Amino acid sequence: MAHANDIWAASTLAVTAGRPTGPGDPLNQPPVLASNFLAGGAADYARFGTPSSAAFEAALGALEGGQAVAFSTGMAASAAILEGLPAGATVLTASNIYHGVRTLLADMQSRDRLYDRSVDATDLRAVETALEGAALLWIETPSNPLIQVLDLASLCALAASRNIPVAVDSTFATPVLQRPLEFGATYVLHSATKYIGGHSDLMMGAVVTADESAELTEQIVRRRSLHGAFPGAMECFLALRGIRTMALRVQQSEASAQVLAERLVDHPAVTRVFYPGLAADPGHELARAQMSGFGGMLSFCVESEDVADAVLARTKLIVMATSLGGVESTAERRNRWNEGAPTGLIRFSVGIEDVEDIWADLDAALQ
Ligand code: PLP
């Protein structure tokens, strides 16, 4: 299998990493639809690992600069990290994280399994105080749905000074734009369902740990095997195929997101735009420092919940749907999940359609 090369750019790694290398091998790992393998080889029983998961993990690991472990969903990957904590431990979470993880923590808290302590992670002083007694710092940058950018280097340094591991949900950034391990993250989490798969046709997740953390990687693999949170061969195949074009897709989405965000700022029906590519956005400078681009996710507010619903009912190209990171432009009024987002907030995953077509659709819907 092709190995990571430190010199190559993300776009090159995305195409090459995890490729078979033997004479006569296919250029890419095909799906191996098997649960059982002849004893004595690299694969054994599919819940412990397959050629398909190994190829996906090699590619994602190369992109993140660590060891990737594939999961059936992003939530399964999140649970594998949280389940590693001792009973009664406190997880310090950034106030804006994916609502599914927040709900999982609430469920664990209701059984005294773990405690969720939330902090405004843009306030480093507050984080410093709140880290006292925490067993894990859980952050998401850029965040869902406020596209808030957090200071990876400072947060990881604060946690490291207290020997507290840090999990970074990097789903919105993708490894094309951000590599949290380089800033000291312990775990990088992905919902591969989103940009990595990229075509709204699969569910998968991943946890990536540093190359030097072999023991941590083993623990994550062990929990995946014990919980049975293993991805199927077709999913791994499709996700790897998604990785091959991820850099191009992300670049296109991002270029359009920048144009759309700038136009939305000047739109009379829009009261606020959240996009780190805007110079006025509070996360702009941080994003410039720690990401190689601003990504394809933006959020904006209209006057009210009703107006947001009316706008989304009028779009013809932009699809009203909850997931994100696909080739299609998708949007939703985020507060329908009751997660405390501003009521008129529309979260918008910018697809790879022509930007003028997207704008025409959005502008007409906003009238
Ligand atoms: N993290 C983020 C930022 C997400 O947006 C999601 C899903 O929307 C998840 C994690 C969970 O991933 P999955 O839906 O693949 O379980």
Q: Per residue in 269-299, pLDDT tens? A: 999 999 999 999 999 999 999 999 999 999 9
Question: Where would I find the H helices in the chain?
Answer: 10-16, 51-64, 74-82, 99-110, 124-130, 152-160, 174-177, 214-227, 233-265, 284-290, 305-314, 355-366
Dihedral of alpha carbons 321, 325, 327, 333, sign: positive
Residue type, 106: A
Catalytic residue list contains 120: no
Which entry of 116, 169, 241, 249 is annotated as an active-site residue? 169
The CB of 74 under 6 Å from ligand 1? The reply is yes
With a cut of 90, say whether residue 338 has pLDDT above it: no
For atom 5 of ligand 1, which residue has the closest CA? 98
The CB of 258 under 6 Å from ligand 1? The reply is no
Taking the whole predicted model, whether its pTM rises above 0.95 is answered as yes
Which entry of 47, 113, 244, 288 is annotated as an active-site residue? 47
Backbone angles phi, psi at 188, to 5 degrees: -110, 130
**114-169 pLDDT per residue, tens:** 999 999 999 999 999 999 999 999 999 999 999 999 999 999 999 999 999 999 99
CA–centroid distance, 268 to ligand 1, in Å, is 32
Looking at every residue in the chain, the average pLDDT score rounds to: 96
What the block records as the tokens of 255 is: 């270029």
Q: What is the largest CA-CA distance in the chain?
A: 66
Which entry of 194, 224, 241, 249 is annotated as an active-site residue? 194
Write out the H or E segment, with its range, that includes residue 347: strand 345-349
The CB of 144 under 6 Å from ligand 1? The reply is yes
How are beta strands 114-119 and 89-94 bridged, if at all?
parallel
User: Among the atoms of ligand 1, which is closest to the Cα of residue 76?
Assistant: 16
Catalytic residue list contains 169: yes
The DSSP string of 103-161 is HHHHHHHHTTSEEEEEE-TT-HHHHHHHTTT-SEEEEESS-TTT-----HHHHHHHHHT
